[in-house]
């Protein structure tokens, strides 16, 4: 595994552990010499994540949708910043650059990225395993919702082979490797 896309909030949220997770994940990816691919912002969890990877000498690629936001929040640190013209292009580029993905807590943008990643994997457009990283309860309702949709008969159960949840940033790469192996 050489590169991992990480989806997360552009705010810090109200739970201090979210920033701790972002920091620990950024450091871990850098220490394992895995390129971080992220949304290119310096704000919120995105900024914490990128700054942590940079602080440990990691390679960081930011994919930033120029002209999308009301104020420019692109990361100005030592990263490979790639400018795209839309949120859709951002996702496409992040998926293209990555071997796998991690979702930290986030809002509608993160949910959009996670759902599209799972959809594209189910459709066979790519095969990117996904680790949901939280400190307990953030992603549980999302997984419960997908389980309900599956129980209703409108979602194939194969989504379960592409995603796992963890609370340990240090376990993410192993989980992603295991998922990638199972997806073959």
What average pLDDT does range 53-57 have in this prediction? 97
What is the reported pLDDT for 160?
Answer: 87
Q: Is the pLDDT of residue 15 over 80?
A: yes
More confident residue, 70 or 15: 15
Domains of the chain: 3-183 (3.40.50.450)
Q: Which residues contact 61 (CB under 8 A, 6 or more apart)?
A: 3, 35, 36, 37, 38, 79, 80, 81, 82, 97
Give residue 77's pLDDT.
Answer: 87
Least confident of 47-51, 64-68, 177-181: 64-68
pLDDT score for 57: 97
The pLDDT, as a whole number, for residue 73 is 82
pTM of the model: 0.95
Distance, CA of 55 to CA of 119 (rounded, Å): 34
- Residue 135, pLDDT > 70, answer yes
What percent of the chain clears pLDDT 70, i.e. is strictly above it?
A: 99
Report the pLDDT value the prediction gives residue 16, as an integer from 0 to 100.
Answer: 87
pLDDT digits 0-9 by tens, 165-174: 999 999 999 9
- Which pLDDT score is estimated for 80? 96
Closest to 50 (Cα-Cα) out of 75, 17, 87, 85: 75
Calpha distance 78→160 (Å, rounded): 36
User: With b meaning 16 or more CB within 10 Å and e meaning fewer, what string describes 100-110?
Assistant: bbbbbbbeebb
Give me the chain's average pLDDT, please.
93
- In this structure, are residues 66 and 84 in contact, taking their beta carbons and an 8 Å threshold? yes
Predicted local confidence at residue 106, as pLDDT: 96
The answer to whether the beta carbons of residues 34 and 3 sit under 8 Å apart is yes
């Amino acid at each position: 595994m050489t590169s991992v896309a990480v989806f997360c909030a552009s705010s810090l949220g109200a739970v201090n552990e979210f920033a701790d997770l972002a920091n620990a994940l950024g450091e871990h990816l850098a220490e394992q010499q895995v390129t971080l691919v992220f949304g290119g912002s310096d704000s919120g969890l995105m900024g914490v994540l990128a700054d942590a990877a940079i602080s440990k000498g990691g390679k960081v690629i930011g994919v930033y949708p120029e002209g999308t936001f009301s104020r420019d929040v692109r990361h100005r640190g030592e990263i490979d910043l790639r400018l795209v013209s839309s949120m859709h292009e951002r996702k496409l580029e992040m998926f293209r650059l990555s071997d796998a993905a991690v979702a930290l807590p986030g809002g509608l943008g993160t949910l959009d990225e996670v759902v599209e990643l799972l959809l594209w994997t189910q459709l066979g457009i790519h095969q990117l395993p996904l680790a949901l990283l939280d400190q307990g309860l953030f992603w549980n309702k999302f997984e419960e919702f997908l389980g309900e949709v599956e129980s209703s008969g409108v979602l194939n159960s194969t989504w379960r082979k592409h995603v796992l949840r963890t609370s340990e940033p240090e376990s993410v790469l192993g989980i992603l490797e295991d998922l990638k192996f199972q997806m073959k």
